[in-house]
C-alpha cells in the first residue's frame, strides 16, 4: 500500500503533512515518490481564498478521474465535508488525523467512502511529532506550537476550519526541537496563526522563546505569524537579547486605514501598527519587517486605500504578500456588501504591488556592500551554478558560488538585481 501526499496552503499544512506521513509510515504504509505509483493520494487542502480552494479541488479531481483512491484532508475538508465525496473517497478534517491510518486501510480493503470531521484531539499526532525524522529539509524544520485561532477577523475562515486556539505544552515543543536537533536540524520555525497569544500553564510566548533559546544550540530560531495587536514589548526584548532568535518580524498589516481595520476586527489602529514597527526598528534599524496586505475589503474607499499605501511607505517593509479580498463562507464579511468590482480590485492590487516594490527596493539598497550570514537552501532558481541562501531577516540572497544546502557562509552583497541581492562568499562558517 503506497501513499503520496500533496500539500496546498500555509506552513501549518506543511507541518501536518509531515506528521501524517510519519503516522502512515509507522502504521506500515509505504511512501510513493510520485502520485502515479501511489495507491492512495492524500490532498492536504487550503480554503483561505477561493483560488486556494480550487487548486486543491482540481488536484483531487484529476487523480480521481485517473482511478486513484483520493483522501482530502485539511481546511477544505473541514469546510465542505460530504460535498467533497464526488472527488474523494475519504474526507478527513483538521482535528481528526489520528483516525487516518485505520480508515485508509479500511478504505483500500473495502472501498467504503467516509467523512470524518469531528474533533478527536491530536494527542497521538503529538506523540509522532516527538520522534519524527526531518522531512522538509536536512537543516530546517517547522514546529507547530499552537493550533486554531480565536480571533475571528471578519474576512477569515481559519477559526471555523481550524477550531479554537490550543497551545502545546512547552516541554513537548522543546522535546520535539531537541529530537530534530539531534538529527541535524539547525533552523526551526515555530508556527501558529497568532504565536503571540501562545499560553500554556503559565508560560507565555516570550518565556517559550527564552526556554528554547537557553536549552538548544540551534543556529536560527524563527516564528510566524505574529498578530500586531499581541506583539508585546517583553517578546521584542527577548528577541533582541538572543543570538539565536532571528530579527525577522512577520506582522500582517491587512489594511492601513483604521476604519477598515475596525471593519476587519483587527484590534489595532494605523498609528498603533506604525508605533510597533517604530519600536522594533528603534532597537534594530536592520530588523526585517514583512507583512500581508489585502485590497478591496467591503467599504474600502480610495482614501482608505491611500492610507494603506501610506503605511507601506512609512513602515518600510522588507517583503509583503499581497491579496485581493474574497468572500469566505460563514465569516462576518461574507454578509457585507461588496463595494468594488473585480476590475477595480485588480487595479488597486497593481498599485499596491508597485508601492510595495518601491519600498522593498529602498530597503534592499541598504544591504549593498555589507556582509551577511547566510544559510544556504539550495541552487538558485535561475542558474544551477549559483546558490540561494537566507539572511537572519529571511531575505533570499543569490550567492555567486555552488554550495551544499545547509552550509552557513558570510557573504558580501555586491549587487541588487530587481529586488534580489547578489552576494560573494567571504568566509565559510561551517
Ligand atoms: N494568522 C495570520 C494573521 O493574523 O494575519 C495569517 C492568516 S491567513 C492564513 C494568511 C493571509 O491570508 C492573511 O494574512 C490575509 O492577508 C489573507 N487572507 C485571509 N482571509 C482572506 C480573504 N478572505 N481574502 C483574501 N485574503 C485573505
Ligand atoms: Fe485569520 Fe485573523 Fe486568525 Fe489570522 S488572526 S488566522 S487572519 S482570524
Ligand atoms: Fe489555508 Fe488552512 Fe493555512 S485555510 S492558509 S491551510 S490554516
CA of 384 to the centre of ligand 3 (A): 32
CATH number of 2-116: 3.40.50.12160
Answer yes or no: same fold for 2-116 and 371-428. no
**How far is residue 406 from each of residues 141, 167, 187, measured CA to CA in Å?**
12, 30, 9
Report the pLDDT value the prediction gives residue 71, as an integer from 0 to 100: 96
Q: What does DSSP say about strands 408-417 and 420-428: parallel, antiparallel, or unpaired?
A: antiparallel
Q: Whose CA is nearest to atom 3 of ligand 3?
A: 10
Q: Which three cell numbers stand for residue 46?
A: 487550503
Instruction: Summarize pLDDT for 50-75 with one digit per residue, the tens.
Output: 999 999 999 999 999 999 999 999 99
Q: Which three cell numbers stand for residue 234?
A: 517583553
- The ranges assigned to domains in the chain are 2-116, 133-246, 260-366, 371-428
For the chain, the first-to-last Cα distance in angstroms comes to 41
* Of the candidates 159, 124, 148, 176, the residue with the CA atom closest to the CA atom of residue 20: 124
Q: What are phi and psi of 309, to 5 degrees?
A: -60, -35
Q: Which three cell numbers stand for residue 199?
A: 499560553
Average pLDDT, the chain: 95
Report the pLDDT value the prediction gives residue 124, as an integer from 0 to 100: 59
Q: Tell which wins on pLDDT, 98 or 82.
A: 82
The CATH architecture assigned to 133-246 reads 2-Layer Sandwich (3.30)
- Using most ligand atoms within 8 A of CB, pick from 320, 323, 335 the residue to mutate for ligand 1: 323
Confidence of residue 111 (pLDDT cuts 50, 70, 90): confident
Angle at which helices 270-283 and 302-315 cross, to 10° = 10
Q: Whose CA is nearest to atom 7 of ligand 3?
A: 158
Confidence of residue 7 (pLDDT cuts 50, 70, 90): very high
Q: Which three cell numbers stand for residue 244?
A: 539565536
Residue 244 CB contacts under 8 Å (≥ 6 apart), including other chains: 212, 213, 216, 218, 219, 220, 221
Q: In 3-state terms, what secondary structure has residue 388?
A: strand
The ligand with the least distance to the CA atom of 192 is 1
Q: What are phi and psi of 226, to 5 degrees?
A: -100, 140
Q: Are 144 and 12 in contact (CB under 8 A)?
A: yes
CA of 147 to the centre of ligand 3 (A): 11
Instruction: Summarize pLDDT for 317-338 with one digit per residue, the tens.
Output: 999 999 999 999 999 999 999 9
Report the pLDDT value the prediction gives residue 122, as an integer from 0 to 100: 65
- Residues in contact with ligand 2 by the CB-under-6-Å rule are 149, 151-153, 156, 158-159, 193-194, 227
The ligand with the least distance to the CA atom of 265 is 2
CATH number of 260-366: 3.30.750.200
Query: What is the Cα–Cα distance from 204 to 238, expressed in whole angstroms?
Result: 12
Instruction: Summarize pLDDT for 230-280 with one digit per residue, the tens.
Output: 999 999 999 999 999 999 999 999 999 999 999 999 999 999 999 999 999
Query: How much is the average pLDDT of 389-404?
Result: 97
Ranges of H-type helices in 27-74: 50-65
Report the pLDDT value the prediction gives residue 27, as an integer from 0 to 100: 87
The ligand with the least distance to the CA atom of 52 is 3
Whether residue 296 has pLDDT greater than 90: yes
Whether residue 217 has pLDDT greater than 80: yes
Query: How much is the average pLDDT of 1-11?
Result: 96
Instruction: Summarize pLDDT for 334-359 with one digit per residue, the tens.
Output: 999 999 999 999 999 999 999 999 99
CA of 52 to the centre of ligand 3 (A): 9
CATH number of 371-428: 2.40.50.140
Q: Which three cell numbers stand for residue 194?
A: 497568532
Report the pLDDT value the prediction gives residue 169, as an integer from 0 to 100: 94
Q: What are phi and psi of 146, to 5 degrees?
A: -155, 150
Query: How much is the average pLDDT of 399-404?
Result: 96
Query: What is the Cα–Cα distance from 342 to 294, expressed in whole angstroms?
Result: 13
Other C-beta atoms lying within 10 Å of the C-beta of residue 229:
17
In a 10 Å sphere around its CB, with 0-12 CB exposed, 13-18 middle and 19+ buried, how is residue 146 labelled? buried
What is the model's pTM?
A: 0.96
Query: How much is the average pLDDT of 16-36?
Result: 93
Amino acid at each position: 500500500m503506497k501513499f503520496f501526499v500533496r500539500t496546498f496552503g500555509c506552513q501549518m499544512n506543511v507541518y501536518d503533512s509531515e506528521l501524517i506521513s510519519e503516522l502512515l509510515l509507522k502504521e506500515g504504509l509505504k511512501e510513493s515518490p510520485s502520485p502515479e505509483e501511489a495507491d492512495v493520494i492524500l490532498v492536504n487542502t487550503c480554503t483561505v481564498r477561493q483560488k486556494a480552494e480550487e487548486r486543491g479541488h482540481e488536484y483531487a479531481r484529476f487523480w480521481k478521474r485517473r482511478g486513484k483512491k483520493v483522501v482530502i484532508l485539511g481546511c477544505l475538508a473541514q469546510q465542505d465535508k460530504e460535498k467533497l465525496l464526488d472527488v474523494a473517497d475519504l474526507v478527513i478534517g483538521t482535528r481528526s488525523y489520528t483516525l487516518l491510518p485505520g480508515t485508509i486501510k479500511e478504505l483500500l480493503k473495502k472501498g467504503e467512502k467516509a467523512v470524518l470531521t469531528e474533533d478527536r484531539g491530536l494527542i497521538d499526532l503529538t506523540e509522532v511529532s516527538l520522534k519524527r525524522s526531518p522531512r522538509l529539509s536536512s537543516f530546517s524544520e517547522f514546529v507547530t506550537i499552537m493550533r486554531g485561532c480565536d480571533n475571528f477577523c471578519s474576512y477569515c475562515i481559519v477559526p471555523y476550519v481550524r477550531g479554537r486556539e490550543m497551545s502545546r505544552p512547552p516541554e513537548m515543543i522543546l522535546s520535539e526541537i531537541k529530537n530534530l536537533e539531534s538529527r541535524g536540524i539547525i533552523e526551526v520555525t515555530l508556527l501558529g496563526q497568532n504565536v503571540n497569544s501562545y499560553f500554556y500553564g503559565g508560560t507565555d510566548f516570550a518565556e517559550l522563546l527564552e526556554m528554547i533559546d537557553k536549552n538548544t544550540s540551534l543556529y536560527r530560531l524563527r516564528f510566524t505569524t505574529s498578530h500586531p495587536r499581541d506583539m508585546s514589548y517583553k517578546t521584542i526584548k527577548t528577541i533582541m537579547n538572543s543570538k539565536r532568535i532571528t530579527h525577522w518580524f512577520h506582522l500582517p498589516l491587512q489594511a492601513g486605514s483604521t476604519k477598515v481595520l475596525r471593519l476587519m476586527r483587527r484590534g489595532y489602529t494605523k498609528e498603533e501598527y506604525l508605533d510597533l514597527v517604530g519600536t522594533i526598528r528603534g532597537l534594530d534599524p536592520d530588523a526585517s519587517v514583512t507583512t500581508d496586505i489585502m485590497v478591496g475589503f467591503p467599504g474600502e474607499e480610495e482614501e482608505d486605500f491611500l492610507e494603506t499605501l501610506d503605511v507601506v511607505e512609512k513602515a518600510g517593509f522588507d517583503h509583503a504578500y499581497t491579496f485581493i479580498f474574497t468572500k469566505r463562507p460563514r465569516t462576518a464579511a461574507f454578509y457585507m456588501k461588496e463595494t468594488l468590482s473585480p476590475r477595480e480590485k485588480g487595479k488597486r492590487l497593481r498599485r499596491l504591488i508597485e508601492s510595495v516594490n518601491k519600498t522593498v527596493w529602498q530597503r534592499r539598497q541598504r544591504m549593498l556592500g555589507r556582509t551577511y550570514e547566510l544559510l544556504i537552501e539550495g541552487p538558485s532558481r535561475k542558474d544551477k551554478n549559483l546558490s540561494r541562501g537566507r539572511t537572519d531577516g529571511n531575505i533570499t540572497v543569490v550567492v555567486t558560488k555552488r554550495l551544499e544546502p545547509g552550509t552557513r557562509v558570510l557573504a558580501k552583497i555586491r549587487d541588487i538585481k530587481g529586488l534580489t541581492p547578489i552576494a560573494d562568499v567571504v568566509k565559510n562558517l561551517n
